[in-house]
């Protein structure tokens, strides 16, 4: 059986720039994983095509809302016909009147690992530029599937980024950004299920000292987030003032922290 029969049946090789191989798909086997691609497809309705290399073809789903970033919100994924492996590098304009007419660009690509591959459930771990981590696709009926993002364990051993001393500025190659010296306290904020945890550069938990920042949890609802930033107190004239921050820095009592937050927010 040629797995690409449905794919070929929808396309006219003379009218679309998409790869339409004449030969049947090779029957390779890759039970442990392979390449993946997510293509942003501005067709009649915008969607993202998630494709996983599996046994000689790209097994595909169209995800109208894109890859979910919130483990609490699954996204509809419509199972579509297997695509040829060559499709993994395709970007271009599918002409009007052709199947899937519109612009296709690669949104992300990389390797994936297979954790489970059943007829109605696919568990994978993606290693891309934009998406990494565990995802599950599960069938809810016919072509209708759902895509679920697994909750990610926050990586251990992380420290806030610190300034380093160099004798010359970095090359002006567009890859660098300037950040002013804030005169504050460098910290990581771990946000999960609406809860915020702040960690200092010495890996001390400093959450209790800055009650103002619990608002980060409400602002990001169920999202999982890791922020690297600097805690500052603004003095007169709107400039960060380290002296004002000093009274806040070593507080470990919640009520004292709230009191000081009122004086030097
Ligand atoms: Mn598509």
- The pLDDT of 201-215, averaged and rounded, is 92
Higher model confidence: residue 187 or residue 23?
187
- Find which of 80-89, 154-163, 210-219, 243-252 is predicted with most confidence, using mean pLDDT: 80-89
Model confidence at 223: pLDDT above 80: no
For residue 201, give the nearest of 254, 239, 248, 163 by alpha carbon: 163
The confidence score (pLDDT) of residue 224 equals 78
Contacts of 142 (CB under 8 A, 6+ apart): none
Whether 181 is a known active-site residue: answer: yes
CA of 251 to the centre of ligand 1 (A): 54
Least confident of 36-45, 82-91, 134-143, 189-198: 189-198
The confidence score (pLDDT) of residue 221 equals 67
Contact 161, 228 (CB under 8 A): yes
- The pLDDT of 65-71, averaged and rounded, is 92
CA of 39 to the centre of ligand 1 (A): 8
- pLDDT band, very low/low/confident/very high, at 193 (cuts 50, 70, 90): confident
Distances (CA, A) of 259 to 26, 187, 190, 209, 253: 69, 21, 24, 10, 10
CA of 14 to the centre of ligand 1 (A): 19
Secondary structure of residue 248 in the 3-state scheme = helix
- The pLDDT of 132-148, averaged and rounded, is 97
Which of 116, 119, 175, 181 is catalytic? The answer is 181
Model confidence at 136: pLDDT above 90: yes
* pLDDT, the chain, mean: 92
CA of 44 to the centre of ligand 1 (A): 10
Contacts of 138 (CB under 8 A, 6+ apart): 120, 121, 122, 145, 146, 148
């Amino acid at each position: 059986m040629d797995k690409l029969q449905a794919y070929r049946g929808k396309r006219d090789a003379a009218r679309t720039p998409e790869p339409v191989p004449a030969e049947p798909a090779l029957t390779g086997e890759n039970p442990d994983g392979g390449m993946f691609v997510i293509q942003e497809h501005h067709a009649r309705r915008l969607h993202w095509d998630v494709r996983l290399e599996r046994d000689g073809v790209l097994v595909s789903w169209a995800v109208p809302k894109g890859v979910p970033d919130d483990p609490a919100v699954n996204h509809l994924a419509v199972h579509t016909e297997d695509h040829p492996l060559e499709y993994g590098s395709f970007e271009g304009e599918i002409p009007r009147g052709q199947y899937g007419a519109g612009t296709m660009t690669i949104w992300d690509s990389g390797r994936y690992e297979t954790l489970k591959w059943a007829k109605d459930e696919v568990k994978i771990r993606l290693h891309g530029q934009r998406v990494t981590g565990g995802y599950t696709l599960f069938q809810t009926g016919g072509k209708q599937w759902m895509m679920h993002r697994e909750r990610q364990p926050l990586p251990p051993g992380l420290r806030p980024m610190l300034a380093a001393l160099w004798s010359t500025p970095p090359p002006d190659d567009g890859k660098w950004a300037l950040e002013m010296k804030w005169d504050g306290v460098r910290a990581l904020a771990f946000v999960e299920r609406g809860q915020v945890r702040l960690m200092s550069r010495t890996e001390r938990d400093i959450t209790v000292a800055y009650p103002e920042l619990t608002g980060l949890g409400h602002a990001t609802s169920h999202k999982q987030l890791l922020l690297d930033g600097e805690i500052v107190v603004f003095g007169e004239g709107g400039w960060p003032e380290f002296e004002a921050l000093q009274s806040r820095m070593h507080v470990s009592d919640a009520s004292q922290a709230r009191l000081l937050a009122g004086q030097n927010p």
